[in-house]
Amino acid sequence: MKTVVVISTRGFGVFRHDLLVEPDQVRFVGIFSEQDSVNVSDTEGSYFHRIHVVPCGLDDPSYTESSIVDPAATRAIVHELAGQSGTGELTLHCFDERNLLLTAELREELGLPGPTYEQLLPYRDKCLMKERLAGTGLRVPRFGRFDEQGFRDDPAACLDRITADVGMPFVLKPVDAASADGVYKIFSADEFFALPHDLGRSYEYEEHIDGTMYSVNLVVKDGRTVFGGVTEYLVNSTEVQRGRVNADINLIDTDPRVPRMIAFAETVLEALGKLDGASHLELFHTAEDELVFLEVGARFKGLAGLAAMQQNYQVALLNLAFEIEAGLKSHPWDQEQMYCFDAVMPKRPGIVSELVEPEVESEVEIKWKVTVGEEIKQGASLIDNGGTFLVRNHDYETLYRDFERLATYQPIRYEDQRRGGPGK
């Protein structure tokens, strides 16, 4: 019997266990942090053979970091499972950016199939991935590694060096960030000088690109793309922290942007070292019709977006990943096809006075994470949000109109504490 170990719930919630061809021939084992374990649904709990709850890998994690598992505790559990399993019976899986490298280390230690640490590193280090694209002919933003000691010693000189290299405005982001966590857009010297004295992790700086963001989502098997889809973002990811709804719509396959962007993504994967399984690449499309690389991860996109993709394309993508990575075969997708997009609702600091549903023509399914009367803080990332929703329609043109309508949508209204009345 196969033992399939899943580290972190993130990205896993849309797996269709009911589609497995031989569900009795596999046991699922989960390893989740204390904070992350609460995300296991009743349905998932019913088919996990066992769930191990371990401490978080950080002492004081943010919401975004809370899924990081403790390395020592996770290593001990996986080694014990390996000792109980026969050759070829144990596989190790992760769809969470923050636990990918630990998962790769454990595969190497135990001789398990799947990407190694060195193979995954170019998909995690935002400087390394851009360095690897030199010579491909693809447009990459100008960038460099942020000198934290130089910033502390002489902020003005540090700013001069950065702007001489990439200009102003520019972007600062952790080299291993995900979900727009810890990202700063710097539009002025005052914003730069107001940065925390210690950013707490390794950062890069890069040129600010004006353009519409897209993501290209591929699944590769034996070096060949077996699934490809493109989504268009309503706003850039960092704008969510400023209160903009982050919606992204799956482009219809006949859209001429789709093959061009998939070809772009495949060139990136070839340069980084193409891995079997999922990848999620983000790029800009500029007003000059130029495609500009942003970043790529060896994982599926976020959970709400993945749910939308599965319904839109009628493909059980998590099941496809398990077929490639563990040999678990699944029946085909069995639900009605509907065009679909997802959205993430931002959190701003204040007391929630009203939750406003979007005015759209299409069918909407909303999952609120906040309640009226609750006092909330600024969302730190796309994961730390006020809720998500899916929008569906059989008519693509109507769905796209609804997508564009969300440009001015404000889902959460707040009490205006200065005047004692409702505000935005």
Instruction: Write out the DSSP string of 7-70.
Output: E-STTTTT--GGGBS-GGGEEEEEEEETTGGGG--HHHHHHEEEEEEE-BSSSS--TTTTTPBP
Three-class SS of residue 385?
coil
How confident is the model at residue 318, as a pLDDT? 95
Distance CA 415, CA 134 (A): 50
The answer to whether the peptide bond before residue 169 is cis (omega within 30 degrees of 0) is yes
How confident is the model at residue 417, as a pLDDT? 42
Helix axes 317-326, 303-313, angle to 10 degrees: 100
DSSP state of 237: G
Distance CA 390, CA 307 (A): 8
Backbone angles phi, psi at 188, to 5 degrees: -155, 160
Three-class SS of residue 374?
coil
Nearby residues of 272 by Cβ (< 8 Å), 6 or more positions away: 122, 123, 129, 132, 133, 296
* Whether CATH 3.40.50.20 fits 2-114: yes
How confident is the model at residue 305, as a pLDDT? 83
Structure tokens at 341: 């997009």
Backbone angles phi, psi at 379, to 5 degrees: -65, 135
CA-nearest of 160, 141, 142, 140 to 150 is 160
Distance CA 416, CA 59 (A): 35
CA triplet 88, 330, 316: central angle to 5 degrees?
Answer: 115
> Residue 374 to residues 347, 353, 383, 415: CA-CA distances in angstroms?
12, 8, 19, 10
- Asked whether the beta carbons of 213 and 282 are under 8 A apart, the reply is yes
Question: Of how many residues is the chain composed?
Answer: 424
**Strand ranges across the sheet with 350-355:** 375-376, 350-355, 412-416, 421-423
Domain ranges of the chain: 2-114, 142-207, 212-423
Helix axes 100-110, 71-84, angle to 10 degrees: 40
Strand pairing report for 2-7 and 26-33: parallel
Superfamily of domain 142-207: ATP-grasp fold, A domain (3.30.1490.20)
CA-nearest of 262, 239, 265 to 343 is 239
For the entire predicted model, the pTM comes to: 0.88
Structure tokens at 309: 């993709």
Nearby residues of 263 by Cβ (< 8 Å), 6 or more positions away: none
Residue 122: CB atoms within 10 A of its CB come to: 22
Helical segments of 215-293, H only: 257-272
CA-nearest of 327, 274, 308, 289 to 4 is 327
CA-nearest of 10, 65, 75 to 37 is 10
Distance CA 318, CA 322 (A): 6
* Ranges of residues in the chain whose predicted pLDDT is under 50: 417-424
Structure tokens at 7: 């580290």
- Asked whether the beta carbons of 28 and 47 are under 8 A apart, the reply is yes
- Asked whether the beta carbons of 119 and 101 are under 8 A apart, the reply is no
DSSP assignment of 172-232 equals: EEETT--TTTT-EEE-SHHHHHTS-S--SS-EEEEE---SEEEEEEEEEETTEEEEEEEEE
How confident is the model at residue 420, as a pLDDT? 46
Domain 212-423 CATH (choose: 3.30.470.20, 3.30.40.10, 3.10.20.30, 3.30.360.10): 3.30.470.20
